[in-house]
Amino acid sequence: MSFDPMFYVEQMKNWMLLTLFIVFGAFSCEQRDPEPERNDMVYKDLQKELDLINKTLQEAEAEYETRAADLKTVVPQTGQIKSYEKKLFESQNKLDRLRQQKQYFEITLEQRSLYVRSRYAESFKKDGREWPDKKEIEDFQNAQKLQREKIKWDKNKGVVKDVPRGTKSKEEQKLEQ
């Protein structure tokens, strides 16, 4: 049995590489995200809403332009002009409302971005709160759910969820089964 010094050198090289890999891996975990809002569920949801508003706004602008063009082609003294003016006025109101919503979501996104950055920086402190905050996300989702559901009050039944005609609510489906 002979002594092979290269065997031990190769083993030491492997151990040193493994140690370096672990050390670099441990230090790289502390790297901060330059844009933490990309990982925030609330920010993502607001971004989706803004994208939806932008799409709807483009459609409304196209609708307004076609209604304005239709108004110019109306034959005078046929009674159609009032109808076309009303449609143009409604289209203008819809366009204004969508522009306001777009501005609202842009401002809200900016505020949320600043808030997320401050909370993210706070989470790195020793006594900082965890980020993302699960309770905050749950509260936001509950608020969104309540805003999106169509709820009405019936004096006999209490709170009733408004469902499209021809369909039944979940409560009615459960009662039938």
Which pLDDT tens digits describe the chain residue by residue (177 residues)? 555 555 555 667 777 777 877 766 666 656 777 888 888 999 999 999 999 999 999 999 999 999 999 999 998 888 889 999 999 999 999 999 999 999 999 999 999 999 999 998 888 888 888 888 889 999 998 888 877 777 777 778 777 776 655 556 666 666 666
**Which runs of E-coded beta strand occur in the chain?**
151-154, 158-161
pLDDT at 65: 97
How buried is residue 40: exposed, middle or buried, by Cβ count under 10 Å (0-12/13-18/19+)? buried
- CA 97/CA 60 separation, integer angstroms: 10
Whether residue 105 is contained in a domain is answered as: yes
Within 124-156, where are the H helices? 134-148
Whether residue 18 is contained in a domain is answered as: no
Whether residue 85 is contained in a domain is answered as: yes
Neighbours of 37 (CB within 10 A): 19
Residue 159: phi and psi, rounded to 5, are -75, 125
Whether residue 125 is contained in a domain is answered as: no
Neighbours of 42 (CB within 10 A): 21
- CA 43/CA 139 separation, integer angstroms: 14
The vertex-78 CA angle with 74 and 79, nearest 5°, equals 95
Domain that holds residue 98: 34-117
Whether residue 127 is contained in a domain is answered as: no
Those residues whose C-beta lies under 8 Å from the C-beta of residue 81, and which sit 6 or more positions away, are: 71, 74
Whether residue 134 is contained in a domain is answered as: no
Our count of domains for the chain comes to: 1
Whether residue 153 is contained in a domain is answered as: no
pLDDT at 9: 58
Whether residue 107 is contained in a domain is answered as: yes
